[in-house]
Every structure is written in C-alpha cells, then in structure tokens.
Chain A
C-alpha cells in the first residue's frame, strides 16, 4: 500500500451529484484504494488473478521503517435506514519484531449500527445484508475482471466455465445445490439402513446386498471426486502462484529469449565473418593481377595498336611485291597477257620507270617478323593476365563485410541492453518455474477429465440405486419398513431440489439477461443492436434489430458486453448501491466511454471511478458527467513508496 498516515475521503452524498472521480497514474495506488475498501468490508485485499494479498504485504514500507505497524480502515455508510461505522484494524503483535506472515498481526473489527455496537459474530452477516461479499467483485471491480468476463463471449472457453460457477455462486444457486447435496447424504444413510433392514427379508436378500454394494461403491467414488476436486483446487492454486510469479518476470523471460536469439545471431554473424574472411584471403592470392589491371589494359591497347600497324605494313609490302612481279613479267615478255599484242617501246619505257619506283619503295619497306611475333606473344600474355580477375568478388565481400560489421555492432548493443535488463534475475529459476507451471496446467486438465469420468460413474451408480429403490417400493414386505419410507421421502425431496435448481437458474438467467440487455442498449453506440442473449453457460451473444446473432464483434463491443453483464449481475445480486470501478475504460472509444459515464450514475447510488490519464483527459472527457461529479480526488506521488490522496477543487 502506498498510503501512509491518515487519509480521509468524503464520498459524494447528493443524489444528483453522485459521481466521484479519483485520478491517478499507474503505480500511484488506485487499486490500493479499491483494496482498502475491500479490506475494510471483508478483511481481504486482492491481487492479480483475484489472489489474496497477505496482510504483511499490505503494510506501507515507509511507515514500517518509521516503526508504525498499524493499519486501519474506517468506513461510515448508510443502508436500510441505518447509519453504520465499520472499523478494521491490524496491529503488529507486541512480541513480533518484523512481521513476515499474517499471524504476526492482531486483528480487530468493530461495527456500530446507529451508534450501538454490533456483536462480533453478527458483523459479517450485517455487512452481507447490504453488500454481500460474493457479489462484491461486481461493485468493487477492476479492469482485470472486465477482461475475465470478456472470455464469456468465447463459446465453450475454459475461463467461461469457471466464471459460470462464480456467477451461480453469487446468484444464490449454491443454496439449493447444498440443499440437494444434504438430501443426498440423508438419502444415502436411509438407503444403508434400508439395506440392513431388508437383508433378512425373504426374497429381498439379493437386492439388499446389491444395494449395499452399490452404496459402498458410491461412497468410494464420491470420496474419489472429493479427493480429485481438492487436488484440482490445490493444483490450480499452485499454478496461480506460479502464474503470478511468472507474470512479474514475464518481461525478464521475454528479454532472456530475445537475448538468447541475439547471442545466436551474434554467433552466426561472427561465423559468417570468419568464412568470408577466409574467402577474401584466398582471393587475395590472385588479386595482384587486379592491382595491375589498368596498366595491363593500357599495355594491351598499345601492343594491339603496334600489331595492327605491323600487319598493315606487311599487307602493303605484299601488294607492292605482287605489282612489281607483274610489271617485271610484262617487261620480260614485251607482250600484253590479255590481248597478246606487242608492247610499244614508249610503253615499255614507262613500265620500266614504274618498276623502278616499286623497287625503291620495297627496298625501304622492311617488316620485322620477330617483332611481330614478340608483340603477339606479349599481347597474349597480357590478355591472359587480364582475364583472371577477382576484383568483382572482392568488392562484393568488402560490401558484405561492412554490412556484417554494422549488424554485429547493432546486435552487440542489443545484447548488452538485454543483459542489463535481466541482470539480477535468476533466469534459470524462471525457466524452471515455466516448466513447473506447464506441468501443472497439464495436470489440471487430467484431473478435470478424471473428475468427469468419476462423476459419470456416480450418476450411473445412482441410477442403479434408484431402480433398486423402486423395486423395494413395489414389494409389500419392504414397503412397511421405516427406512423405505425415509428413502421415498428423501428421494422425492432431492428431485424437488434438483428441479428447483434448474428453475432458479433459468429465472436468474432471464433476470440477468434482461438487466444486462438494458445496460447494453444504453452503453452501445450501435443503435441497431436490440440486446443480449445469455445461454446456459452464461455465454453472451449480441442480438441485432431482427433478433439474429451478431457474429463479428470489436474489442470495444466485447468490453461493453462484459460491462453490461457485470452491471446486470450487480443489480441481480443486491439492491442498487455504490459501485467502485478501477480502470474501467480500457480499450473503449470516446463514444462508448461517454455512454458509460452517462449510464452508470443512473443505476448506482454512488459511482466512484478510479482512472488514469490514458483513460480520461481532463476536463474535456468529463463533459458528459460533469454535472454529476460530486467530488474529485487525485493520487499524487510523494515518493516511490508513498502516495497522497488530495481533494481537487471543482
């Protein structure tokens, strides 16, 4: 509890201004305020999953350090035309130095009714007359309850089955169930007596013996069911403790999973870096050619040019040599090779000059074959060197290396942050608890199945007993026995109770359905919805204007349905009274929130809303209810262990 010293809150008293707002950010103490009321009325404070918070954990740590070990809640209220003052006080026992368990406190409860003290044993029943503890979760409720009730919208959910039992508990069905159970016990005793009485009646020995045998079997089966039920409750309790523990360290568990994955990634990156480094080193063996590439390319171009020049020169020389050869042939034969005519002397003279010129040209046109062959060889070598490039792959590797380095830095930073997140936590212990929790969950399932099987066997044995009982009733010698008459009466009564249970359930369901539908129609923003339908398991369905089921629902709609059911249950289980709601708006949109703010003050005598800044932005969001607000408080942080509740001026 973050509250220390004396804190006084005055709830609004005017009928038309019956809303009280308590603002407080998370961790400031809104749920603690709700728990203070719950503890005041019922001596219990509830934590997650409705688990009771041990008394020694309720104490304000700062006050304890200062030596103040007394907790007290005083509530003044009016009900049924009477004025009550309720006081509950817990005080450290004188010989205890540091309380570490609830027994270390002495408890005191006092109730005054119109200034007259109510005697100790009557206090609880007096409180339950107006604020029954079994219904208290509906008028002292928090957001967690809302989420739990949303499960009812999922057909056949496990959570839904549990809630059904809880709902019937608050609606009074157990009274009849207990009656039926008591009658069952009486019936069994009567049947046992009947077996004994009829064991000596001629002709009925066999039936009486069979009855006795079935009764023994039934006793054994019922003892099994009880044992299994106890075991199931114990398993559920252990699992809830583990769930709570695990929930507290859930972020650590998730951080550990992320850390493991990050470390794996880190290993993979390092391994990838190693392999790529090896490849780079192997490529470096041949990379020297790439360093020379620009120079070799220039050299290659130069050699190719030289080679081309030499080739052209050789071709020209060949052409001139052929021309000179032809001219020489003409001069030697003095005849035209085409027309066979003799060459005139003037023409021969001209051709002699041409030949002379050709011979002069050829004499200066030398072609170095060795140079040609050297150039060709070198060109081949250079081109060969150029063909073996690894630069492309090296460039790819360099790029991948840079990317891997960046990623490794990022991953290392992430791992470091996660390490600091889980530092100080025993992650092995968390892992162990998770395994234990999963084991208990499996065990719960198995126990539930076993209970179902044994329950079926019990039903079957009971049917057998009923057949035997009818046989006895039809037998004149058995009919006269007192035990047979007793069996007959208790059987009939048991049947009456069974039928009554079904009838009461149906009536209560109809009542809750009507109230919840009424609330739903006021709260929903979809005006075409005509109401809600509740099935035997308290599963809820939205009905449209034609009475058909609406199959697709938003998260907001589910919250409204759950809220409507809670309102319906609260108004079925007791007369309209004050309602305290802790963080009720959750995922609701503005219109739904406005509807709640308008509707709830009309169905409650006082409405206390404990809200945080994320739910209600002041003053804008309070407009729908502004005129009904009779008091506003704010929970302010003094330090991490101490909050103060301050009244706000309107």
Chain B
C-alpha cells in the first residue's frame, strides 16, 4: 500500500448524481451504490482513463458503503496505472463515466445486461455513444 491518503467519502458531479438517482428510481438498480459500482466496472472494462469530473461535485457515499471489502480498490489497482492519485479518486472518475454510459444504455427502458457482459468480454461491439 502506498502512503497516499485515500478519501473516506466519494461522489460524483451533480449531473452524475442526478443520473444515479434516476437509475435507482427507474428500478435499474436496487441501490445507488450498486449502480455506482457497476459504473466503475463498466469504465474499467472499456479501458477508459477518465479525467477529473466537472464541477460542481457532490459527495454521496462513504467509501465503506461502496467498497466494504476494498475489492473495487483492488480491481482498480490491478487494471489501471493509478500513479500518485488516490485509488478512490480514480473510482470517482471511473464512476462518473460509467454512470453516464449506463444512463445512455437505459434510455430504451431496459438495461441490456447480456449485451454489456458480451461487450466487456469483447464478443460484441459497444454501441456508439
């Protein structure tokens, strides 16, 4: 473990937060934290190296809520060169991209999980977003 100080609270841009709420309200996910985790994984799977999310930002969860066993952090460290940036800062950036992508995917009313999993495995191409 590096000596970089990790944040204890994480969040998204206000726009990202609004999307997250809608993903829960539309019953695509049971909890916002579930959509947040899924967004991070989606961004990682697509090999995205996102920039700092746009302001204004809002904190939404404690890190323990989103990643109680630190598995997300481990996955990010394994799959991304985190450099000197705290891993949960990366988590926020990845989640911002992933949640936005999920909102596009859910526009038809249903989240096609089978397609997402196929795209991640490379057996299917991602739609133009």
Chain A contact residues, CB within 8 Å of chain B: 277, 280-282, 284-285, 287-296, 299, 378, 381-382, 384-385, 391, 394-395, 398
Contact = CB atoms under 8 A, between A and B. Distances in A.
- Size bracket of the B interface: 20 to 34
24 contacts: A284-B34, A285-B34, A288-B40, A288-B72, A289-B41, A289-B71, A291-B116, A292-B45, A293-B120, A294-B120, A294-B121, A294-B122, A295-B45, A295-B79, A299-B78, A378-B74, A378-B77, A378-B78, A382-B74, A384-B71, A385-B71, A385-B75, A394-B114, A398-B113
A294 B123 CA distance: 10
A501 B119 CA distance: 94
Contact of B38 (A288, A293, A296): A288
A411 to B, nearest CB: 20
Nearest to A384: B71
Given A281-B27, A296-B75, A378-B78, A291 B114 contact: no
Contacts of A384: 71
B45 A394 contact: no
Contacts, number: 81
Nearest to A381: B74
B30 A281 contact: yes
Contacts of A280: 113
Those 8 A-B pairs whose CB atoms lie nearest each other, nearest first = A288-B41, A291-B41, A281-B30, A288-B37, A381-B74, A294-B121, A285-B34, A288-B38
A394 B27 contact: no
A292 B38 CA distance: 10
B30 A291 contact: no
A281 B65 CA distance: 17
A351 to B, nearest CB: 48
B106 interface: no
Nearest to B73: A381
Interface string B51-84: 0000000000000000000011011011100000
B42 A291 contact: yes
A362 B28 CA distance: 60
A269 B102 CA distance: 28
A403 to B, nearest CB: 14
A284 B116 CA distance: 12
B44 interface: yes
A277 B113 CA distance: 13
A296 B44 CA distance: 10
A299 B79 contact: yes
Interface string B107-125: 0000001101100111000
B38 A287 contact: yes
A287 B78 contact: no
Nearest to A399: B114
Given A292-B44, A294-B122, A281 B29 contact: yes
Contacts of B75: 289, 292, 296, 382, 385
Given A287-B38, A291-B117, A292-B45, A385 B74 contact: yes
Contacts of A385: 71, 74-75
Given A284-B38, A382-B78, 12 more contacts: A284-B34, A288-B40, A292-B120, A294-B120, A295-B47, A295-B120, A296-B75, A299-B78, A378-B78, A384-B71, A385-B74, A398-B114
